[in-house]
Structure 1
């Protein structure tokens, strides 16, 4: 499956005129962002190109539905959506309505909406609305919640395709921000968050993140089970270890009874796929490798309800694989 091409967004689509921010500056339009991105290429530039594409699609999506939105300041503007009340109830432009209502109705899920974005103070011109992490059009966490908070997405016959794809059983609840207990050599545990837990499956979501993070060898070597899971070459002779999140996710799965680990990434990010295979080639046993998988959002989209497929296609450019 090759990378998807950037959608053609004509200059005369609804809402394509420049819109103005509260400070009088001029925001980006979708056609301008697409022209900046240019033709899609694989490799290191994929994160930047996908970010431009998602923001262009978000502007069109927001204009078409008159959604509350704005853009950040700086050289790489990001479209940000906000919550608002309507005659039919609350809505948020970064979420499909059904998922947003389900999130608001769940105490644990709704708490995720309150996490402030780290760039809020330096890149946000508005004072009447605080920018949250899941407000950003490029947020992988928001995409994850759009899918796994959609009512019935994992239930019954309608959810069978997604359960089979992920390798999970029925009756599993989506637990976001799961903190595993990964054993360290000093007897303590690393409890860094994993994006999602579905029973014994741990999920890390990626969208426009540049990579799977890098770490000093000493940080990686502190894990008690590192050399049980990976060949010594994973750290030997290196000044920086790439794919740190993949290593940590693998070790987190080992710490969960019958645990497995899955990365969800976009098919338009072949660079992340290359990083995945680079790290997975160092896994010691076939048994452990069988508990690790990488899926694309496009593959996930193919087994989702039609309503959710249409949303992902229009807002994210994610089409069924």
Structure 2
């Protein structure tokens, strides 16, 4: 990373260390800390050009922020808003971008309903909270108003999802839909998964240095050292895959690899923590639940493996 990107990472990490409280956030009606979200947008983590009221940050900077949010499992609408921003920019509609992007840059939550599964309106990121609601039919992008939204409880309390009923909604066409939005979504999610996997491993290593069996910290046992070394390699290769996600194929590869890496690390986290990991008071179960949920978001690994198989036969 550049010095500027390292400074951004440190600023976001410091902010989250001081103000992120996952359990308090998920228990609020909004499902996230509004003050914390305002601070993040002030830092300039959204990839909105300066001409539309943004900081001029690129997706590389957004990816850094997403990794930090993943580390702490902080509920925040950055993933949803980033995807919505990309969808708007891809339309090339200056009037719509000039009207909506400055609002998003100021902290207005935006989200997108798009055809990533058979029922895209059932699991919409921050769909019950977003003030700006966009819809893709696979060909065009629409701005939606007067839709009925309802929070959808899921296994993962740190990920806000909603069901959106479009029966009586009003839809205004804003421009063409770009399939590249999917690639950005997969790359963004992969960055978040890498951050969560890295922190899960850090917490596990720290715990094995203090948990004692047979008179020794379990982290001193050679078998566990080998397991954690393997997990370290898994996390770092996942990070490489996430950073390389810049087109249709590499984004699909990142989604598959980072999903499986995060799930493997989270599962080992629970196992190596022992009984404490399945208590509500410990965060291990939250990492495992996030790993389960993010595997299915924007298509399962199996869905993307099938896509990659088709690419190979072209």
User: Do they fold alike, i.e. is TM over 0.5?
Assistant: no
Q: TM-score with structure 2 length normalisation?
A: 0.27
Q: TM-score with structure 1 length normalisation?
A: 0.27
